[in-house]
Chains A and B, each alone.
Chain A
Amino acid sequence: IAGITQAPTSQILAAGRRMTLRCTQDMRHNAMYWYRQDLGLGLRLIHYSNTAGTTGKGEVPDGYSVSRANTDDFPLTLASAVPSQTSVYFCASSDSRVPGELFFGEGSRLTVL
């Protein structure tokens, strides 16, 4: 059972470059999320999607965009990366019938130089 698959697991990129973090789930969950995790700040919600075709802004959406063309995929794009976007990014999904029970991927560690 794969659950949530994120790619890449780690990436270093130069400031100003465009980057897409990929996320795929095989649980047919309707809701998906992107969080960033920074020491001392916990997990902060970037964007979320309640169902395919809809997205919403979380707590820290600036500099990021998402799309939800189908149920399984929820890519996160940094149009022009900046050093403050250095973080560990977690994708998650949930069944809306079970509020708050998120299933997380293993994370993507991104370093922007």
Chain B
Amino acid sequence: GESVGLHLPTLSVQEGDNSIINCAYSNSASDYFIWYKQESGKGPQFIIDIRSNMDKRQGQRVTVLLNKTVKHLSLQIAATQPGDSAVYFCAETDPGGGYQKVTFGTGTKLQVIP
């Protein structure tokens, strides 16, 4: 999962296996959560989002799970591929702060082993 610090948490997964990336958030007022993927040397890219009135949302090969009780968010990637190697960030918006202010976590690096 994500943590504040000088090193980036790393998850190593065998190609073809499923990946689960975790994120803990602290702002109980946040009601919109997003996952971004950042490949080396590029800007982050939107993957999937979920509103706080949902606990699960599925996309193409990705699923986001939200547990508001414990303020936990996870991203599941099915059948992980080499192209999934990247840093993944969870992000949140707080309606009190305006939906335009998106706050990012510190990121988790996913390494796919061929």
Instruction: Report A's interface with B, CB cutoff 8 A.
Output: 4, 31, 33, 35, 39-45, 48, 50, 56, 58-59, 90, 92, 94, 96, 99-107
Please list 19 pairs of residues, one from A and one from B, whose beta carbons are closer than 8 Å in the complex, sorted by A's number: A39-B6, A40-B4, A40-B6, A40-B8, A40-B106, A41-B106, A42-B89, A43-B104, A48-B100, A48-B101, A50-B98, A90-B43, A96-B99, A99-B32, A99-B100, A100-B34, A100-B49, A104-B45, A107-B41
- CB contacts (< 8 Å) of B102 on chain A: these are 33, 45, 100, 102
B46 touches A101 (CB 8 A): yes
Bound form: Cα–Cα A106–B44 in Å:
8
A102 touches B98 (CB 8 A): no
| B61 contacts partner chain A, Cβ-Cβ < 8 Å | no
B93 touches A100 (CB 8 A): yes
Instruction: Report B's interface with A, CB cutoff 8 A.
Output: 4-8, 32-34, 36, 41-46, 49, 89, 91-93, 98-107
Bound form: Cα–Cα A84–B92 in Å:
26
A23 to chain B, nearest CB (A): 11
Closest-by-CB residue of A relative to B90 is A42
A50 touches B100 (CB 8 A): yes
B103 touches A45 (CB 8 A): yes
B66 to chain A, nearest CB (A): 13
From known contacts A50-B98, A96-B99, A102-B102, infer whether A39 and B8 are also in contact, taking CB-CB under 8 Å: yes
Known: A48-B101, A102-B102. 12 other contacts (CB 8 A): A31-B100, A40-B5, A40-B6, A40-B7, A44-B104, A45-B102, A48-B100, A50-B98, A99-B93, A100-B102, A101-B34, A106-B43
A100 touches B91 (CB 8 A): yes
In-complex Cβ contact of A92 among B8, B42, B43, B106 (8 A): B43
- CB contacts (< 8 Å) of B100 on chain A: these are 31, 33, 48, 50, 56, 94, 96, 99
B48 to chain A, nearest CB (A): 10
